[in-house]
Amino acid sequence: MLKTVQLYKFKSHPKTLLSFDDSRLHALVGPNSSGKTSVLQALHYLSRLTGKDNSSFADIFQHESSPEFLTRIGEDSMSVIATGSWKVPQSIWQVGYYWKQSSDSSWSPKLSCSGKGSLEGWESSLSKAPFP
């Protein structure tokens, strides 16, 4: 079950923390252009990196989804981190992706998962990770 989502310099979100309770229904409510869809996009990209469809950063973050379009204007880094739990007794997890722009304007991705470590590079995906 999803517990928190943190967006840092992702699109219109300078630093946003969403916390979810144990209910099964949640809603994102706000005026037009307030960032509701951005939250869903951030989670969608995270689910593709950690899912069974074997998507890598290179598969997901291209064209209008490339990091220079997802990172707040004027910023050189961005991250999306989610925490949650599953099973009984509860097992807590945290997973996130991070982008950093280097001095030559290229972008470097990093993916991390609690208890499993981290991976760096455009071909990274948790489904392709060398660890279980």
- Structural domains of the chain in order of their starting residue, each with its CATH number: 2-128 (3.40.50.300)
Q: Which amino acid is present at 91?
A: S
What percentage of the chain has pLDDT greater than the value 90? 61
Q: Tens digits of per-residue pLDDT, 73-119?
A: 999 999 999 999 887 777 888 999 999 999 999 999 999 988 778 88
Cα gap 12→36, rounded to integer Å: 10
Cα gap 56→50, rounded to integer Å: 9
Q: Cβ distance 37 to 49 under 8 Å?
A: no
* Per-residue pLDDT at 6: 98
Dihedral class, residue 33 (left if φ above 0, else alpha if ψ from -120 to 50, else beta): left
